[in-house]
Structure 1
């Protein structure tokens, strides 16, 4: 058998095995209430969700304007994307994270949060 065919069979088997393992692990994890969260974006968002949230005055003004609400912030912390080029920098004895998400009206927003060891400070919310 030629090398090309052996390589193709190997890669196909590896792919099927990987799919089976991911499906099996995900099924077991969902029974126990555990998330499969190994990628950097997922890990940062999970860390931010796990801490108590404090709201700074500029963010409170945006929330009072009623174009964004706390449910939009929670959804952005679950399904949003962390902009790592602007994030993970030391800022006021914590680390700053910029998260891009959407409101319930499908408007794009940018959330700036400061991650401390025991809390998260919602610093500002901006429309894109």
Structure 2
């Protein structure tokens, strides 16, 4: 068989396999609760969202000041960016994570959280 025909068969099979994989993954993604998180930022935020949240007194003062809400923190945990230069370091029997996000008024905020095995402690919220 000539090289042209072998290449055509190979590319056709590769195309069919690619279409099947995309169709299969799309069907899985349409199911409720299925989320594909393979990048480090996405995995950390998903882990922080999955645990129960406790609020420290410093963070409670920021929330009571009304310039930031708990909904802003939740949106930052969904769409924020983890600063890995300051994060993933041992801290009080957990690991500290610094997340950069935005409020509903589009102000930049920095959220510091401590990730324990069974809970997450919201330590402080700062304006940038």
Q: Same fold (TM over 0.5)?
A: yes
- CA gap of 1:66–1:93, structure 2 versus 1, over 3 A, is same
After superposition, the CA RMSD in angstroms is 2.3
Q: Please report how far the alpha carbon of residue 28 of structure 1 lies from its aligned counterpart in structure 2 after TM superposition.
A: 1.9
Q: Distance in 2 between matches of 1:127 and 1:110?
A: 6
Indicate whether 1:94 and 2:97 are aligned.
no
1:123 alignment counterpart: 123
List gaps (5 residues or longer) in structure 2.
1-6
1:3 alignment counterpart: none
Paired residue total = 119
Alignment of 1:68-87 (within 5 A): 68-87=68-87
List gaps (5 residues or longer) in structure 1.
1-5
> Which structure has the bigger radius of gyration?
2
Q: Distance in 1 between matches of 2:68 and 2:20?
A: 40
Q: Please report how far the alpha carbon of residue 38 of structure 1 lies from its aligned counterpart in structure 2 after TM superposition.
A: 0.9
Q: Distance in 2 between matches of 1:26 and 1:43?
A: 20
Secondary structure of 1:111's counterpart equals strand
Runs ≥4 residues deviating over 4 A:
none
